Amino acid sequence: MMVDTHCHLDSSKYEGEVESVIERAQKVGVQLFINPGASPEDLPKAIALAEKYSNIYFTVGIHPSELSNYKDEYLLDYITHPKCIGVGEIGLDYYWGKGEEERALQRQLFHRQLEIAKEYKKPVIIHTRDAVEDTCKIVETHREVEGVFHCFTGVLQFLKYQDRFSYGIGGIITFKNARKLLEAFPKIPKEKVVLETDAPYLAPHPYRGKRNEPAYLPLIRDKIAELWKMSGEEVETITTNNAKRIFQW
């Protein structure tokens, strides 16, 4: 059994295909799915999927690139839903060269969403890109909050938060040029690793550049099994137990 701790099944790229996407994943052993909130527009779709399928859960949060119309209600209206198991994906994304005004808004609303997670005792899913220093400063400010660094790419500074955070390992670990992640990976305790696809993005090798889906999760599992020198079944057991602990299943 595997858990895809981060897949956007509400994406328009799966329009009309969600059921077949889920079926393909289940055939290869992916039994639980977490659909993180990313935008106010997509969140209702994520909730509807969680209400339709017993093995899909969701988290509430606004991605840093979707903050222009942020309202607390996007989180507060759904955070007590029985299928809501966290706050995310939230964080900072400076990749697109945003100005300081935009970055300041990202930091402000990252703080705010972390405060909501603390108030409701929910784990968080953190997205961070080209914003290492500011992410660390904010995470250190909210010491009671725990969760996952989504799409961990090997940033060593984030490994100092192992007491509170786990690390989502996705398709990048299968890439031939993933040197940074492959060097950092041995420094992560096994009990701090969870599997994720970030589908429909970041498909693992040999599907890199194509639409990703949860059915590709075994490719990530197998790479981790190679690195840990253990069987795929052992990787499944470890990472599934980790996900269940973090998200309090």
- pLDDT of res. 41: 87
pLDDT of 111-138, one tens digit each? 999 999 999 999 999 999 999 999 999 9
- pLDDT of res. 126: 98
CATH of span 2-246 = 3.20.20.140
Euclidean distance between CA atoms 17 and 12, whole angstroms: 10
pTM of the full structure: 0.96
Going from N- to C-terminal start, the domains of the chain cover 2-246
